[in-house]
Structure 1
Amino acid sequence: MSNVRTSRSEAWTGRLILVVMVAFTLLPFVSMLSAALQEAGSNPTGLSVPSPAHPENFATAFTMARVPTLMGSSALLVLMVVPAALALATAAAYGISVLRVPGGRLVFLVFLMGLTIPFEGLITPLYYLMRDAGLLNTRPAIALPLIALYMPFGVFWMRAHFSGVPKELNEAASIDGAGPWRALRHVHLPLAKPALSTLAVLYSLWTWNQFLVALVMMDDPLRRTVAGALGAFQGQYGTDIVLLSAGALLIMLPTIVVFAVFQKQFVAALLQGSVKG
């Protein structure tokens, strides 16, 4: 009887913690929505229900910040960065984990060290590198650094997947006459779909919202990423908090939709630890 009571109390405690965490997560969004519906040019404070509400602020912010143009620029950068970053990270992780190339462990340690270095610490040498290569103010000047900066996490992510694949599958592929690349194509990549799809979504979101690299490498504001749209609400004498909140919600909307659509893939990739035959 005591065990039943304990399990019930633990269940209710877990639910209470979950509710509190959800409330803390949603509170900033509710606050931004409240501010976005206030009268443009006003100074909203705290949570309040606007009366009357001003949903037209979203249309104003959408037009004022040139959101469609910047979304197109972000989408183009995603197409340039994500396929290349996925291919390179997968190939490197496959070589380190499955093919066990000479020096693979050392290379992996170097990638792990890369996870500890923030983007901000590399932006200055990357700027001079792109300048010397004659690529400044071009989209490759944004795409190439992002591909390199994403490599440590991508290799770490894909190596974790390849390390969980039973060695018997590799041996069976070798017996059937499959070489390393054929085994990668017909055995490992089909099994890696959850990990690859999750990594692709993460890369897409990071590129879509990337601001610092785009700001440093590109002078034209309309050729940066959609995160740069928030600068449109910074005036000479202050910031329009209402339109800034509306614009921020518009920019975050694609991210929220992507997470909602691909949540099953995220869970599958995170829980994937073995292959069941």
Structure 2
Amino acid sequence: MPALLRRLCMLALCVALPLRAAELTVDLGHGARTYRTEQLLARGDARTIDIPDDVSFKRAMRYRAVPLKALLQGARPEDALLFVASDGFAAEIPATTILQAHGSEAWLAVEEPARPWPPLAENKVAGPFYVVWTDPQAMRIGPEQWPFQLAAIRRLAPVAERFPGIVPDLALKPDGAVRKGFAVFQRTCFACHTLNGQGEARLGPDLNIPHNPTEYLREDLLRAYIRDPQSLRHWPQARMPGFDRQALSDAELDELLAYLRHMSGRKAHPTSP
């Protein structure tokens, strides 16, 4: 009986304690705004949504969520937006993908303090904020466009202005494989990797310094690694996701490799750490 009373007292204490709300910062160049958990959950446009095949949880999930475009007032379709996670992940998503979507819709899932989400693999957590998509297949939304542990959203200058070291030779044809591969790189790789020491992400190694993967991996092995990293080297702690043909077509993979091969001849060592 004493043990049961202790458990009941602990439960009562947990219920009585105030639940800590998380904060999300949105800075679109007009002054940063901070959104707290309770504010987002109390919004009139908050909805309960079902995600049949969640990219991170690998199963059906239900969330309390807010339409993401409702939090991006002042953003322009031509803007680039950086989604910064607390674990070092940084995903750049074109604003037009969210503001002028055709079929897919982006939502900010908000973790309710009283109903925490289950842990991800390796006991990682997705909360407190997580970008999820309804009908992602309609616009071929890739797994890197589902950032979790979201802490901030920032409006960015064009990528060529911010990171000139990742830009291929501008003399190349805009519709050529290398320039197309540069766009694929930004969509699929730049969320986790830097190149020539430039970029926001800190999850994966640099893809050009000291060596470009096209320099030390045979092309067939590199293709296999991109499709399924565990097929090349089984490592339970690995964090890189695989890119199947739905997320990255064979043609896009060809273009990505063309860009990486091109950039292996354009190494630019950063001048500062």
User: If the length of structure 1 is used for normalisation, what is the TM-score?
Assistant: 0.23
User: If the length of structure 2 is used for normalisation, what is the TM-score?
Assistant: 0.24
Q: Greater relative contact order: 1 or 2 (C-alpha under 8 angstroms, separation 6 or more)?
A: 1
Give 1 or 2 for the bigger CA radius of gyration: 1
Say which structure is richer in strand.
2
Say which structure is richer in helix.
1
